[in-house]
Amino acid sequence: MNQETLYYTTLCSPIGELLLVSDGEALVGLYLEGDCRRPEPSALWRRDAERFHSAAEQLAAYFAGELTTFALRLAPRGTAFQLRVWELLRRIPFGATVSYGELARRLGQPGASRAVGAANACNPISIIVPCHRVIGSNGALTGYAAGIERKKWLLDHESQVLPGSQSRLSA
């Protein structure tokens, strides 16, 4: 995301300010406040809230508990392995959690749970590509670029939206 014109906007959310980034065709980034990987807009970036109208509406509906599946054009940038992991993340149902080891098994690489964790940590499109739904094999919350408290909030929010869903969380 360095030498090209990108578009961005910021949105307020219950877990802090969100930074949305687009290449003009698709969403390439959604970063939470406090995210250690959150980029700073450069001179080549252009603020354009209208470009993010659909994303803003869907995120508002998600936070209001009215939307469980996003329908947005996404173009995350990463290695082939990261892209495979991020695609698997999108298949984790709303309100559910899986372990890093389970994701590695789903990739057909059962010994790659650490690599899955590293790819998960590099996910550039938080919430929509739900890396917050990945937990430790013992059910414990593990790292989250924007802080464990935000990960816990997102998981709690989803479990409250889906009555009867069981959250397998431990702090």
For the domain that residue 128 is a member of, what is the CATH number? 1.10.10.10
Phi/psi at 21 (5° precision): -130, 135
Q: What would the mean pLDDT of 3-19 be, rounded to a whole number?
A: 94
Where in the sequence is the domain holding 11, given as residue range(s)?
7-63
In a 10 Å sphere around its CB, with 0-12 CB exposed, 13-18 middle and 19+ buried, how is residue 2 labelled?
exposed
**Tens digit of each residue's pLDDT (9 = 90 or more) over 37-94:** 899 999 999 999 999 999 999 999 999 999 999 999 999 999 999 999 999 999 999 9
| 89 plus 147 within the same structural domain | yes
Instruction: Establish if 166 belongs to a structural domain.
Output: no
**Residue 41, beta-bridge partner list:** none
Catalytic residue among 12, 36, 122, 131: 131
State the average pLDDT over residues 126-140. 91
pTM over 0.75: yes
In three-state secondary structure terms, 98 is: strand
CA dihedral sign, ordered 116, 118, 124, 128: positive
> What is the pLDDT, as a whole number, of residue 168?
41
Known active-site residue 122: no
